Amino acid sequence: MASSATVGDLVSQPYKYGFVTDIETEKIAKGLSEDVVRLISAKKNEPPFLLDFRLRSFRQWLQMEEPDWATLGHPPIDYQEIIYYAAPKQQEKKASLDEVDPKLLETFEKLGIPLSEQKRLSNVAVDAVFDSVSIATTYREKLAEHGVIFCSISEAVKDHADLIEKYLGTVVPGNDNYFAALNSAVFSDGSFVFIPKGVACPMELSTYFRINSGDTGQFERTLIVAEEGASVSYLEGCTAPMFDTNQLHAAVVELVALDDASIKYSTVQNWYAGDENGKGGIYNFVTKRGQCRGDRSYISWTQVETGSAITWKYPSCVLQGADSVGEFYSVALTNNRQQADTGTKMIHVGPRTRSTIVSKGISAGHSSNSYRGLVQLGPKAVGARNYSQCDSMLIGDQAAANTYPYIRSQQPDASIEHEASTCRISADQLFYLQSRGIAFEEAVSMMVSGFCRDVFNQLPMEFAAEADKLLALKLEGSVG
């Protein structure tokens, strides 16, 4: 029989991406030192400027302290116990998919990301990253016809070194914060996107990150550049096997939008969250920032965060160009012992810049879910506007929801609005829906997707249904 206690049980859906692919991997010895940084750079045949960037970042990291201001708790991370480079054994990136290890293709197919020509998604180009290495990127030729570059960052370092040198580390500097510095020193792979002047990218771009090894840290680096008048929509997805140890994931994403450019960046994060007692799961410490460098440029972050034992993530926009626009739409679902401290920073520098923040936190079980957001208006941000809305939904009576909005304004001629609300799925609401013939699970799912609708509407069409399904999966289950 339905009751609010069983709503809690509902959220405990077994994780279905928890398998491990048995594949031969090349790993370096665990531990971190300057030699390890040099070794990673050498393995990737990097030009000197990149080794310099890594070494500078590493030296700064050594001087830094792990941040402790977030509403998160975890045992200390031993950075010498982590392996900083792991790659499935295959010599070179393959020119054709036929040469990629079928086990890898099979893995991605199992994850719902078919890469082979017959099966791949017809309107989405995919870069598939397995542990530290990009194994395949689809539709490259078609994109190249439009001048769009979409490849792994390692390839970009080889083939487009000038662009990498020009943009890498310009949005998130090597010493930005503890985890960004660590990433800058040891980053392995990730995606590079370049949309030249005036080009609207003809298809959705997407990177799929798969962690496979149990003792390896994940340090991807993504860089997206949209030149004047260019536009692109990009989506990343993530899964990992179930291990009873924790894996560290410290990624950096940088976005650059020049005059009139637009970048829409969406994330569906479903790393392994640990078991119901909080054993295992990914520690997700991620730095994502976009710079609206040009006038009238636009950057939008949409995230659906359902996995990870710990999420520490604040996708931000630096609104430098006049009339530029930043958006942040977020759904964060935590269950069991998961902890999330996530939000955004909207830094208004230029005049008449606008930002919108819509955050939806859902906490179930014994989890803790915090929104932390900064809205900052500088002295030149005349006529700037911000609207923030932070809603929390509690399921059961053991979960916690917090909202920490920070507002700093040096601009008297600006408008800042902040709205916050907290609600609970009540037994009476569920009974009302049930008494109209709607099954208990569907009733919960209807209410949760209703709560998240403002955010799901922002996802690319192909993925909005996916996100809905993912939440439903997390919320379906044990009630029979």
How many residues comprise the chain? Answer: 480
Residue from 422, 439, 465, 478 touching another protein (CB under 8 A): that is 439
Least distance to another protein, CB of residue 333, Å: 15
Interaction pattern, residues 147-166, with another protein; x per rule: CB under 8 A = --------------------
DSSP-assigned states of every residue in 169-221: TSSS-TTSSHHHHHHHHH----EEEEE-TTPBPSSEEEEEEE---SSB-B--E
- Residue 223 in 3-state DSSP? strand
Site for another protein in 393-432 (CB under 8 A): 423, 426-429, 431-432
472 scored as a contact of another protein (CB under 8 A): no
Q: Which is nearer to another protein, 105 or 430 (CB)?
A: 430
Q: Which is nearer to another protein, 238 or 447 (CB)?
A: 447
Least distance to another protein, CB of residue 2, Å: 5
Going by C-alpha positions, the residue among 151, 289, 240, 204 that lies closest to residue 460 is 204
3 scored as a contact of another protein (CB under 8 A): yes
Burial status of residue 265 (CB atoms within 10 A of its CB: 0-12, 13-18, 19 or more):
buried
194 vs 162: CA distance, rounded Å: 12
Interaction pattern, residues 64-83, with another protein; x per rule: CB under 8 A = --------------------
Q: Which is nearer to another protein, 4 or 402 (CB)?
A: 4
Running DSSP on this structure, what letter comes out for residue 414? E
438 scored as a contact of another protein (CB under 8 A): yes
149: number of Cβ within 10 Å: 19
Token output for 307? 């996995």
Q: Which among 328-336, 363-371, 394-402, 435-443 is the span making contact with another protein, rule CB under 8 A?
A: 435-443
Running DSSP on this structure, what letter comes out for residue 100? S
- Tell me which residue has tokens 């053991």: 398
Least distance to another protein, CB of residue 454, Å: 9
Running DSSP on this structure, what letter comes out for residue 95? S
261 vs 197: CA distance, rounded Å: 9
Q: Which among 72-80, 234-242, 270-278, 441-449 is the span making contact with another protein, rule CB under 8 A?
A: 441-449
453 scored as a contact of another protein (CB under 8 A): yes
Least distance to another protein, CB of residue 461, Å: 18
315 vs 346: CA distance, rounded Å: 9
Q: Which among 1-9, 153-161, 331-339, 457-465 is the span making contact with another protein, rule CB under 8 A?
A: 1-9
Interaction pattern, residues 293-332, with another protein; x per rule: CB under 8 A = ----------------------------------------
130 vs 95: CA distance, rounded Å: 17
Interaction pattern, residues 100-139, with another protein; x per rule: CB under 8 A = ----------------------------------------
The count of chain residues that interact with another protein, using the rule CB under 8 A, is 26
Token output for 154? 């390692």
In angstroms, what is the C-alpha Rg of the chain? Answer: 22
Least distance to another protein, CB of residue 15, Å: 26
Q: Which is nearer to another protein, 136 or 455 (CB)?
A: 455
Number of H helices, E strands in the chain: 11, 23
- Tell me which residue has tokens 């630096």: 318
450 scored as a contact of another protein (CB under 8 A): yes
Going by C-alpha positions, the residue among 364, 353, 284 that lies closest to residue 325 is 353
440 scored as a contact of another protein (CB under 8 A): yes
Q: Which is nearer to another protein, 164 or 452 (CB)?
A: 452
Going by C-alpha positions, the residue among 119, 117, 88 that lies closest to residue 21 is 88
Least distance to another protein, CB of residue 222, Å: 32
Residue from 38, 434, 462, 477 touching another protein (CB under 8 A): that is 434
Least distance to another protein, CB of residue 303, Å: 19
Q: Which is nearer to another protein, 400 or 433 (CB)?
A: 433
Least distance to another protein, CB of residue 62, Å: 48
- Residue 325 in 3-state DSSP? strand
Backbone angles phi, psi at 158, to 5 degrees: -75, -50
107 vs 104: CA distance, rounded Å: 5
437 scored as a contact of another protein (CB under 8 A): yes
477 scored as a contact of another protein (CB under 8 A): no
Running DSSP on this structure, what letter comes out for residue 83? B
Q: What's the CA angle centered on 346, arms 289 and 392, to 5 degrees?
A: 100
Least distance to another protein, CB of residue 391, Å: 9
240 vs 189: CA distance, rounded Å: 16
Q: Which is nearer to another protein, 187 or 451 (CB)?
A: 451
Q: Which is nearer to another protein, 33 or 421 (CB)?
A: 421
Q: Which residues of this chain interact with another protein, rule CB under 8 A?
A: 1-3, 423, 426-429, 431-440, 442, 446-447, 449-453
